[in-house]
Amino acid sequence: MRRLSHFEGRDPASVAWTVRMWANISPAGALNMSHAHPGVLWAAVYYVDMGDPPAGEDAGGELFFEDPRFPLPLMRLPGFRLLGIDGQPQPVERRLPTAAGDLVVFPAWVRHGVRPHKGARDRISVAMNIDVKA
């Protein structure tokens, strides 16, 4: 996290970093609604086991990130979207396919969630809040 962080007047290597972790064991149908992690700098998730996908399908359970620019314009004009460089409307969320062994780190203020898990076995991940002692 030191290489991704800047503290005005302080060396990131000189601060005391803290990590709080918890396991998520997600049976079929489990999901995590959109949320953020207030009060910490970084959030992360490590994927241990993705569960078995149903025959001929994917296992679901994709991590998604919401575009923080969209809530206000959407409340005022529900069909509004910014156009991307390809000329197509930009989505309000980005889904990130993940695999066992992946570690995803992102700013804790970014709203995110997990789509429903469709696998036959539990999907196991370890979530983290990463911060510094003030």
pLDDT per position as a tens digit, 69-91 = 766 666 677 778 788 899 998 88
How far does Cα 47 stand from its chain's mean position? Answer: 12
Quote the domain boundaries for residue 80.
Answer: 14-132
**pTM of the predicted protein model:** 0.83
75-111-18 Cα angle (round to 5): 150
pLDDT of residue 10: 85
User: Residues in the chain with pLDDT < 70?
Assistant: 70-75
For 64-128, give the DSSP string: EEE-TTSHHHHHHSTT---B-TTSSBPPSEEEE---TT-EEEEETTS-EEEPPB--SS-EEEEEE
Residue 9 maps to a domain: no
CB 23 within 8 A of CB 95: no
pLDDT of residue 72: 66
CATH number assigned to the domain comprising residue 53: 2.60.120.620
Residue 7 maps to a domain: no
* Phi, psi values for residue 109, rounded to 5°: -80, -10
Residue 75 maps to a domain: yes
Residue 122 maps to a domain: yes
Instruction: Return d(Cα 125, Cα 114) in angstroms, integer.
Output: 11
Residue 25 maps to a domain: yes
The per-residue pLDDT for range 86-98, each reduced to its tens digit, is: 999 888 889 998 9
Number of separate domains in the chain: 1
